[in-house]
């Protein structure tokens, strides 16, 4: 993804350094340029991206199978591709994905199905819709008391359905009972179970209940003969079991051996260890006021329920009746579901007017506007305006929050308090980061893979950073950086880097140059002027140095093909060096 040996800062004596001693550049001490990768002890250029496939997909997900292997899942319009092969069509609406128990669960408001790594499967088991027919046989048998029958379906994962309607009652009087017209199930049904509803004598008492009779170990046979005596029948609670398949929903999450789904203001959850069974009473109404859920995320041991105008947290300890739902904030929410990301131990999302961060560190956690945004909030807000019809998307990549808005990307480096505005030739429709840390994104031309090209093909045009103390070495006085404001232009090739300080953003009068050559950052001497790497060498300009206060610039490459990095708002004093 990056070349790790282009620049190496071994000794910065007398040069620009952000530490108190002029030694190695440390990762958390330098202004971060997105197309320059700052590593402990070195600076290296990032690579670009290249075409991965020609499918302009709508979203992607990495499915980790039980054996640890992975499959890249892409939705392209109404089709689902697995590792580039079409596996399903006719999909209406965008799918949400979640991996649980070695299976990929896929859901939206129109579909709910499972991908097992090889085949599509039905998610959940619908109950038989009609009763079987029970008649008394002429053949002698052991059943004696009145019985009525019902049937359930069982799928290939062992999930049993709710029961069918009950048949009419028959009284066999020591005859066998023939069951006919037993329904067969759909895909993945491997057997059917037979139950009888009867009053039997058990332990000297009459017991009216449901009793397990037997099973049909296929999905084709439509008849069954009951010749089971009351003495060997085993009670069953199947009539009381609620094994409904999941309803349609927009969002999905697995937590504590359950599947959670959400739509509008409703949160639904499966039985424990039974992701295909959603009892009718397994739901939570999350403050119904027209405020729709836009995402489900895990943070520590909480389910964070993000809505358009509020945020809630659900603690799922013990039985569902013991769960605790708290409103974290009732005025800040996320109207853009695809902007929600887990960044380190925080959740970041784009709200109505700013970026927000969720910190669940205390029992009564609050959602806070990130304090480090405050000093540059007004400038950032101009970048966060979402045009009608635009769908912002995001990714957590390389410890940074990538946010696409319109035709550009904002990259937020939480650790360095840095924002970068980054322009791609085509604005991505989605991002996806794989477990092996590859970044994919989709544009009109197809799906791109970031970091595998030797050519940098993006353009960074702006960056914002909150500064730290600066030590200019023995030749300067240390002052506090108040704020940095930067512009970026396209990258060029060259083996030298220069830092230029001046007072004017466009004319950069009174500049001073620091040269970064072959791994070193050096002072210029004599007259000060604009210096470049590569073969170009423009004329120098004479300047009288004074206290610099507003501006600096870094350049890579030549005058004809520069990469420029501008800084604004530095407060310091600097002496001319002979």
**Burial class (CB within 10 angstroms; exposed 0-12, middle 13-18, buried 19+) of 495:** middle
pTM of the model: 0.73
pLDDT for the residue 416:
59
**Residue listed under structure tokens 């005859």:** 175
Question: Any idea of the CA torsion for 287, 292, 295, 301, to the nearest 10 degrees?
Answer: 0
**Residue listed under structure tokens 């790790």:** 4
Q: Which helix or strand (DSSP H or E) is residue 51 part of?
A: strand 48-53
Residue spans of the domains in the chain: they are 7-47+460-574, 133-240, 245-453
Q: Report which of 438, 435, 440, 447 is spatially closest to residue 64, judged by C-alpha positions.
A: 435
Question: Any idea of the CA torsion for 403, 27, 565, 549, to the nearest 10 degrees?
Answer: 110
Alpha-carbon span 6 to 488, nearest angstrom = 20
Alpha-carbon span 546 to 81, nearest angstrom = 63
Tell me the DSSP string of 272-336.
TTBTT---TT-EEE---SS--EEEEEEETTEEEEEESS-EEEEE--SSGGG-EEEEEESS---S-
First and final CA of the chain: distance in angstroms? 41
How does pLDDT run along the chain (578 residues), one tens digit per residue? Answer: 222 222 223 332 322 333 333 233 333 333 333 344 444 444 444 556 788 888 889 999 999 999 999 999 999 999 999 999 999 999 999 999 999 999 999 999 999 999 999 999 999 999 999 999 999 999 999 999 999 999 999 999 999 999 999 999 999 999 999 999 999 998 899 999 999 999 998 888 899 999 999 999 999 999 999 999 999 999 997 777 789 999 999 999 999 999 999 999 999 999 999 999 999 999 999 987 889 999 999 988 899 999 999 889 999 999 999 999 988 878 888 999 999 999 877 888 988 878 887 865 444 334 333 332 233 334 456 678 888 888 899 999 877 888 898 888 887 776 655 666 666 667 788 999 998 888 899 988 888 888 766 555 554 444 444 333 333 333 333 333 333 333 323 333 333 333 443 333 343 443 333 333 332 222 232 222 233 322 233 323 223 323 333 333 444 344 444 444 433 333 233 333 22
Q: Report which of 84, 103, 106 is spatially closest to residue 93, judged by C-alpha positions.
A: 106
- Give the DSSP letter of residue 232: G
**Of the options 3.40.50.10440, 3.30.70.270, 2.130.10.10, 2.40.160.40, the CATH number for the domain spanning 245-453:** 2.130.10.10
Alpha-carbon span 88 to 80, nearest angstrom = 5
Alpha-carbon span 508 to 498, nearest angstrom = 14
Alpha-carbon span 458 to 47, nearest angstrom = 10
Q: Show the CA angle centred on residue 58, arms to residues 57 and 63, nearest 5°.
A: 85
pLDDT for the residue 504:
36
Q: Is residue 62 within 8 Å of 435, Cβ to Cβ?
A: yes
How far CA 512 is from CA of 120, 178, 500, 528, in Å, comes to 65, 99, 5, 6
Q: Parallel, antiparallel, or unpaired: how do β-strands 302-307 and 366-369 relate?
A: unpaired
Centre a 10 Å sphere on the Cβ of residue 403 and count the other Cβ atoms it contains.
Answer: 27
Q: Which helix or strand (DSSP H or E) is residue 418 part of?
A: strand 418-423
Per-residue H/E/C for 491-543: CCCCCEEEEEEECCCCCCCCCEEEEEECCEEEECCCCCCCCCCCCCCCCCCCC
Main-chain phi, psi angles of 33, to 5 degrees: -100, 135
Q: Report which of 94, 24, 3, 18 is spatially closest to residue 519, judged by C-alpha positions.
A: 24
Main-chain phi, psi angles of 535, to 5 degrees: -95, -15
Alpha-carbon span 551 to 572, nearest angstrom = 11
Main-chain phi, psi angles of 447, to 5 degrees: -95, 130
């Amino acid at each position: 993804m990056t070349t790790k040996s282009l620049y190496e800062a071994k000794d910065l004596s007398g040069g620009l350094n952000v530490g108190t001693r002029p030694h190695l550049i440390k990762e958390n001490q330098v202004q971060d340029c997105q197309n320059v990768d700052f590593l402990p002890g070195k600076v290296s250029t990032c690579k670009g991206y290249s075409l991965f496939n020609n499918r302009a997909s709508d979203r992607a997900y990495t499915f980790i199978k039980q054996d640890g292997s992975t499959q890249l899942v892409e939705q392209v319009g109404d089709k689902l591709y697995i590792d580039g092969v079409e596996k399903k069509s006719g999909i209406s609406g965008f799918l949400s994905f979640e991996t649980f128990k070695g299976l990929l669960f896929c859901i939206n408001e129109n579909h709910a199905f499972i991908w097992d790594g090889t085949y599509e499967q039905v998610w959940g088991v619908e109950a038989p819709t009609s009763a079987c027919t029970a008649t008394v046989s002429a053949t002698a048998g052991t059943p004696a008391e009145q019985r009525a029958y019902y049937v359930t379906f069982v799928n290939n994962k062992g999930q049993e359905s709710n029961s069918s309607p009950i048949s009419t009652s028959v009284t066999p009087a020591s005859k066998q009972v023939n069951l006919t017209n037993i329904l067969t199930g759909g895909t993945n049904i491997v057997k059917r179970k037979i139950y009888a509803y009867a009053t039997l004598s058990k332990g000297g008492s009459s017991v009216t209940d449901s009793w397990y009779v037997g099973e049909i170990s296929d999905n084709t046979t439509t008849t069954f003969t009951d010749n089971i005596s009351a003495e060997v029948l085993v009670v069953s609670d199947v009539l009381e079991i609620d094994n409904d398949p999941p309803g349609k929903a927009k969002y999905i999450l697995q937590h504590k051996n359950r599947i959670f789904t959400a739509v509008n203001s409703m949160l639904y959850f499966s039985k424990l260890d039974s992701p295909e069974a959603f009892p009718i009473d397994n739901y939570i109404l999350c403050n119904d006021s027209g405020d729709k859920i836009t995402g489900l995320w895990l943070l520590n041991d909480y389910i964070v329920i993000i809505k358009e105008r509020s945020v809630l947290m659900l603690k799922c300890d013990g039985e569902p009746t013991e769960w605790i739902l708290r409103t974290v904030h009732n005025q800040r929410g996320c109207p853009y579901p695809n902007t929600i990301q887990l960044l380190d131990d925080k959740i970041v999302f784009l709200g109505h007017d700013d970026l927000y961060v969720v910190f669940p560190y205390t029992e009564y956690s609050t959602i806070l506007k990130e304090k480090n945004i405050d000093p540059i909030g007004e400038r950032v807000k101009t970048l966060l305006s979402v045009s009608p019809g635009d769908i912002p998307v995001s990714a957590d990549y390389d410890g940074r929050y990538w946010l696409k808005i319109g035709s550009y990307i904002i990259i937020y480096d939480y650790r360095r308090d840095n924002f970068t505005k980054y322009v791609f030739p085509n604005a991505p429709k989605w991002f996806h980061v794989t477990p092996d840390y590859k970044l994919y994104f989709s544009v009109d031309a197809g799906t791109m893979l970031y970091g595998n090209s030797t050519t940098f093909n993006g353009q960074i045009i702006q960056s914002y950073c909150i500064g730290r103390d600066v030590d200019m070495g023995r030749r300067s006085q240390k002052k506090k950086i108040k704020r940095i404001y930067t512009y970026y232009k396209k990258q060029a090739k060259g083996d030298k880097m220069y830092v230029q300080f001046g007072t004017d953003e466009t004319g950069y009068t009174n500049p001073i140059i620091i040269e970064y050559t072959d791994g070193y950052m050096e002072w210029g001497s004599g007259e000060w002027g604009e210096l470049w790497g590569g073969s170009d060498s423009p004329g120098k300009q004479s300047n009288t140095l004074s206290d610099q206060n507003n501006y600096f610039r870094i350049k890579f490459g030549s005058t004809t093909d520069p990469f420029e990095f501008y800084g604004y708002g530095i407060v310091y004093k600097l002496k001319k060096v002979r």
